[in-house]
Amino acid sequence: MTATSRVLVTRRLPSKVVARLEARHEVDRHDGESLPAEELRAHVRDKQAIVCVLTDRIDGAVIDAAPELKIVANVAVGYDNVDVAHAKRRGVIVTNTPDVLTNAVAEYTWGLILAIARRVTEGDRLIRRGGWKGFAFDFMLGTELHGKQLGILGMGRIGRAVAARAPAFGMSVVYHRGSTPEARPVSFDELLVTSDVISIHTLLTPETRHLIDQRALARMKRSAYLINTSRGPVVDEEALAWGLRERLIAGAALDVFEREPEVHANLLDLDNVVLAPHLGSATRETRTAMADLAVSNVLAVLDGGQPLTPV
C-alpha cells in the first residue's frame, strides 16, 4: 500500500468526499475562511498535496514553502489563482475540475440572461419595497430573446453548452475565441457590434484582463446585454458602471467581480444590472462532483499515477 501522505484541504468540502482522502492519508482540514498568506505557508510546509479553491492564492511563495509538494488540486475550472509556471518549474502538478460543472454554469447563464432581459430581479426589488401599484400595459417592458443574436466570448466547454441551449430560445449564435462547427466565428469587433446578448466564458489571462472596457462597451448595441460568469477582471467594472449609467448598453448580469467579494460601488445603485454572489456552479450535485474530481486527482498522484485532469 502507498505510504501515507499529508494533504491540506483549504476549505470545507463535502464530508463524504474528504473521507476518501482521510481513509488513505493524513488530512489537515481547514473549514473556515481563506487562510491569510502567512498561515497558508505555515500549513503547507509538511504537505505533499493541496486541495484548494479559487480564492486561495497559491503563488510561488506558497509552493516554495512546501518542499515535498507533489500536487495542487484546484476545485475550479479556472486556475488563475495558481502560479502554474512556478509549479511546473518545481515539478508540482496542477489540476483543475473541468466538465463536471459545465451544465450547471450553462443553465445558470441562461437564468441570468432571462433575469436581465425580462427585468426579473428589478421587479422583485420593486415589489419588496412596496413600489408596485398594479398592472399597467406599458410597465417595465423587457426584451424578447427570439430572433436575437447571442455572442459567445470564449467557446470552450461552457461556451458550447450555453450555445447549445440558444435554439430553444430562437437565438442565433456567433463566437470569438475557441472553436465549434455549430456556430459562426467572428472577430471581436463584429461580436460586439452585432450581438444582442454577449456572454463571457473565457479564461482570465493578461490578454483578457479588462477585455470589456470603455471602448468595447461603446461598440456594443445600446439594446445589448452583457453577461459574465467567467472571471471578474475580464470586465472593467468602473467602465461597466459608466456604460450602464450612460445607457450605452441596456443591462448586464454579473456572477463574478474584479475584487470579490467587493463589488464596485457604482454598480450597487443601478437597476439595469443583476448582481449575483458567484453561484455559477453552486448546485449540490456540481460542487460535490468538483470536490470529488479534485480528490481523485490527489489520490492518483499520491499513488504514483497520472492526474485525471492536469492543467
Residues carrying an active site annotation = 231, 260, 278
Non-local CB neighbours of 26 within 8 Å, separated by 6+ positions: 4, 5, 6, 7
Tell me how far apart the alpha carbons of residues 156 and 252 are, in angstroms, rounded to a whole number: 22
- Enter the C-alpha cell of residue 240: 461597466
Tell me how far apart the alpha carbons of residues 19 and 261 are, in angstroms, rounded to a whole number: 30
What is residue 213's DSSP assignment?
A: -
Phi and psi of 8, rounded to 5°? -100, 125
Q: Are 79 and 311 in contact (CB under 8 A)?
A: yes
Tell me how far apart the alpha carbons of residues 196 and 198 are, in angstroms, rounded to a whole number: 7
